[in-house]
Structures are given as C-alpha cells and as structure tokens.
Chain A
Amino acid sequence: MSYYFTILSPTDTPIFNIAFGTSKGGGDGIARFRFPDTAQYMNQFIIHSSLDILEEAQWTNGGIGARFLLLHQPPQLPSSGSSSTLGASSLLGSSGSTTRASSSSVAANPTSPQTEEAVRQFMSEVYESFVKTAMSPFYKQGMEIRSPVFRSKITAAGKKWL
C-alpha cells in the first residue's frame, strides 16, 4: 500500500507533497504505485478531482470542525489493465477551512475500518505539526513548506500509523 499525501493551500496549490509506502507488515516505507510512469501526474489528477467531493462535503457536513473525510476514489485506469488506485482525501482544520490535506494510496483494502482509523490518527498528528510549522514567524500563508523538520515529522507519522 502506497500513499501520496498533499497539503493544499486555499487556492488549491500544493504546499507540501510526499509519497511513501506502508511500513506495516514488512513494508519498507517506499512508495510503489501500480503504474510508476503515470503515477506522478495521476496522483495529482486524483487529488485535484477529489476536491469536488471535498468541496461538497465541507458545506453539507455541518460545521468545519476537525473532521475527517475519507473518500475513496473509485478504481480507474490510468493506462490499461485493471488497477485500483484509490484516493483518500481528508479535510483538516479547526478554525477555518484554510488547510486541506489529501492523501492518495494504492491499497489492498483501503475501506477497512482499521485503515480509516490509522489514517485518522496520522492526520491528527500531521495537523499538529502543521499548525506548529504554520505558526513559525517566517512562514506566510500559502507558502510552500520546505522545513525538513516538518518533512521528517510527517515521515515519522507515516511510519507510525500507516
């Protein structure tokens, strides 16, 4: 199972990208997408298209608390054969819907409650470190996050939960 995690700015620009594989069950934490040649842009396409759902959900699902949406993009075929690229995207943010985080993954069973719970844990940890990073006086809203500390924290969270 591989994950592609993105934090988007309010204008949909990605401010943080990371791809990693699972560390559970003997995984080595390296992302292996089903179609490596198309994975780069397909992941972004999937994330971008999942904004549709996100957009709808943020208005229909009550207030914008720290809530999690785990949405599964149906299987689709970037090139040929049968694949199951699944996109999961999550909405984070407690005060305003200014922060969004998305992750997409190729998974054997991404619908299981265990996976969902793991993603939820991962997200809340990411959210914490994101808030810390965003509060840095040198960080302006919408800037790309380049902090290596943040990246290592995300990697660690990924290793821990996913």
Chain B
Amino acid sequence: MSLRLSLVGLAAGLAFAAASPVLAAEAGPKPPAQSWSFSGPFGKFDQAQLQRGFKVAKEVCASCHAMSLIRFRNLSQPGGPGFTPSQVAALAATYTNIKDGPNESGEMFERPGRPADAFPAPFPNEQAARAANGGAYPPPIDMLAKARTYTRGFPTFIFDIFTQYQENGPDYIVALLTGYKDPPKDFPPLLPGQNYNTYMPGHLIAMPKPLNDGQVEYPKGPDGKSPVPETVEQYAKDVTAFMMWMAEPHLEARKRLGFQVMLFLALFAGLLYFTKKKIWSRLPEHASTH
C-alpha cells in the first residue's frame, strides 16, 4: 500500500512539476481568432453552417471519431442545425445495424436507427479504436470544442471577461485542422504514425491531415455552385461550428435568456437604488441633500 501511495504521489508530483514546463516550452503559436456567428451576447448558430459542418463530421470525422452524446433527434431541436423531424428519421434509418435487444427469445438483434438513438460510434471501445489507428485513440468529438483551449495569458484573460471571448476551443480546433505543414528543417525526423502540426502542443499529432480541398461536396445554390468555397479552411470552420453546437446545444437559449435576465436585473437594481435613496433620506444626515 505504501508503495502504491508513493507511486500515485510520484505520478501526481511529476504531473505538476515536470510535465507543465514541457507543455509551456513546446506549446505552438497562438491560434488566430476566427469570427463566429455564435460569439458575443447575441450569438446564434448559422444553420446552413451547422448543416455543412454536420456533413463534414459525418463523412470525414465520424469514420474514426465518436460523437455519441448526440442523438439523431438533437439535429432537429431548436437552436441546432434545423433539420426537419422527417429528415432526421430518414437519416437515422440509413444506419441499419443499430444493436438492440434482447428480444422475446432472448437474442440481441440489429435494427435500423431511430431518432432517439445515439449517433453510432465507429469502434465498439477504446481498444478497438486504438488497434485500428496505430495505437492512437481518436477522442470523441462531441465535447471537444469545450475540452480544448489555449493559454490566453495575463492580462488578456481579464479582458476576456468583458469582451466575452470564450471561443478558445473552436479557434484552436480550426487552427489545428488547417495547421498541417511540412516540419521545419531542424525538426527531428517523423516516425511512422506521426504528423507535424503547427498548433498541436509539441507539434506531433497522430491524426493524418484529415481535410483536403474539394473532399466534401456542399449543397449547391440556385446557380449550380456551392455558395461557400469547398476548401480546407471552410470545411474546418464549418465542422468546428458543428462541434461547438454538439458541445453546447443550448447555447442560443442560454444567451437569449441571459439577455432577458440581465435586463431585468439591471432595471430591478436601478429601482432598488432609488428606493434605497428614498428610504435613507429620512435620516437627518441625508436629509440635507434632498
């Protein structure tokens, strides 16, 4: 027991003593700030962008990454990509091998997907995912927009309270998805399964460059062309917006209610201020000022 305790202690000690300077030293450049439709106090998701982002996520990301916190029905709920319930039901039904059961004879069986089902994961478990990806685990992407960040530093993080900057995660993800470059000349040679990325801490990432120009076909406008370019930059922004929605599906409702609450509290505070002044003016030390 004593050995175990010291080992855990050692691990914990190493964690905050040794690993953090490594991170600090190897952290990449700061991701550039993108403009997001969902930033700021009145932010809303861009439905067309979420639909495009969902297409990228489904056709590219979902072959390795799970997004099982999302259920098909979420895709038609308010504040989301705005698919219709029938579109969602049709989409769910295209997944024909949803495992269910046991049935009356005690057998597990497969059936087509329903809107209430979670988005099927590409691998049954982490070990299977690692085995298929050269030992690296593709993390679920449903929470990633909130689970990734970068250091803002002093005093920027204080200004962020007032500017409401909180898109650290999305900015980092866009930078990462578009940050695949050839390593600099003095960089140690890459091993098999390693890729160079400008924005990954330590620059080594197991995920190969996931997006390429023209890889995903976007819905066409009336002129027969996609209204947005089919480029890596656009794919990265769209899929990241979709990831932000997956991480925070009630973001629009939160900001909308927030404005109402702030307005109410500000008015209430104003009324209380004058009520307080009125009541305290009965006292002689305040009477002279009225």
Does chain A bind chain B? no
